[in-house]
Amino acid sequence: MCAAIIPAVEVEGLVKNYGKVEALCGIDLTVGAGELFALLGPNGAGKTTLFSILSTLRAPTAGRARVLGHDVVAERDTVRRSIGIVFQEPAIEQSLSVRDNLRLIGSLYGLKSSDVRRRAEELLAKLQLTEAAGRKARTLSGGQRRRVELARALVTDPGVLFLDEATLGLDVDARRGFWKHVRGLANTGRAVVFATHYMEEAEVADRIALIADGRIVALDTPQALKARMGGGVIRLRTEDDARAREWLTGRGYAPAGAREILLEQNDPASVVPILLRELPMRVERVEVHAPSLEDVFLKLTGRGLEDEVPASEGKKGGWR
């Protein structure tokens, strides 16, 4: 008889309300061991709230969540011992050296100092931070700080790693290096769940949950999600998009997208000449490309991943 495999993360019907506002409206998902799992959605979609619940910083209003089989409400301490998390905001002490930051976390987790020292040195070497180990955190570059954040999250050797918009503010090279490290972590059997609103970051995941307005609108592999869009996508901008949409709808097309017209087609190359010839208004721009996650998101939600949320969304006191 085979032993049951415990998922790294299990979420069932998770709801979180802030007063009358529903931040999460019934999230269901499962993440397996060694899986690199992305939560892709725009700012304000509920990703950070979900992470806050999974990391025991907030309690759900309804539903349940387990990490490595432990309930995030009833078994908080066990969950806290099982996870590592990189927050959007810096969570390292700026006045301490890199090495002291890692040792501090080890002390908070009650680890033996010899174990923490050994683990810290391993991580510093792996993340190319050995030379910076004695420097105060405030003197590091943005990329180094993010790597220190990653080392901080890993120093306790967690079974599950959460990354919440962990590459915010990094340049392309630093991001690439960061994700290379993360991919390596998942390859060693550790589950990694990360939140992002960058489509290209989500592409590295084994599976992606598209999240909008506190709901998961689709969950699958990147390839399967993109396959939902058919052969290709036509992006169209005209001098009068509203009239163009009416015209397209009247001829059996299904225009999607909010800022520009999006047409999902099995054979876009044959459709474009027809559109250019027959559309009764001037076409300002037309693009044909293979489906992207952005297209999938646009199709499912009518909004783009990079869409700015209203100004009223601003963070409250630095907490989200």
Tell me which residues touch another protein (CB under 8 A).
18-23, 44, 52, 55-59, 77, 80-81, 83, 85, 87-96, 100, 104-105, 107-110, 152, 213-214, 309-310, 312-313, 316-320
Q: How far is the CB of 92 from another protein (least distance, A)?
A: 7
Closer of 207 and 303 to another protein (Cβ):
303
Closer of 47 and 226 to another protein (Cβ):
47
Q: How far is the CB of 55 from another protein (least distance, A)?
A: 5
Among positive and negative, which fits the CA dihedral 303, 309, 310, 313? positive
Rounded to an integer, what distance in angstroms lies between the CA atom of residue 249 and that of residue 243?
10
Q: How far is the CB of 85 from another protein (least distance, A)?
A: 6
Rounded to an integer, what distance in angstroms lies between the CA atom of residue 139 and that of residue 181?
22
Q: Are 260 and 241 a contacting pair, CB within 8 Å?
A: yes
On the 0-12 / 13-18 / 19+ scale of CB atoms within 10 A, 201 is buried
Tokens of 56: 């025991």
Exposure string for 281-302, b = 16+ CB within 10 A, e = fewer: eeeeebebeebbbbbbbbbebe
The amino acid present at 89, given as its one-letter code, is: E
Q: How far is the CB of 251 from another protein (least distance, A)?
A: 34
Closer of 77 and 173 to another protein (Cβ):
77
For the chain, what percentages of helix, strand and coil (3-state, to nearest 5) are there?
A: 35, 25, 35
Q: How far is the CB of 15 from another protein (least distance, A)?
A: 13
Closer of 114 and 312 to another protein (Cβ):
312
Rounded to an integer, what distance in angstroms lies between the CA atom of residue 4 and that of residue 101?
38
Closer of 109 and 230 to another protein (Cβ):
109
Rounded to an integer, what distance in angstroms lies between the CA atom of residue 289 and that of residue 298?
15
Q: How far is the CB of 83 from another protein (least distance, A)?
A: 7
State the DSSP code for 131. Answer: G
Closer of 138 and 243 to another protein (Cβ):
138
Q: How far is the CB of 205 from another protein (least distance, A)?
A: 23
Closer of 18 and 246 to another protein (Cβ):
18
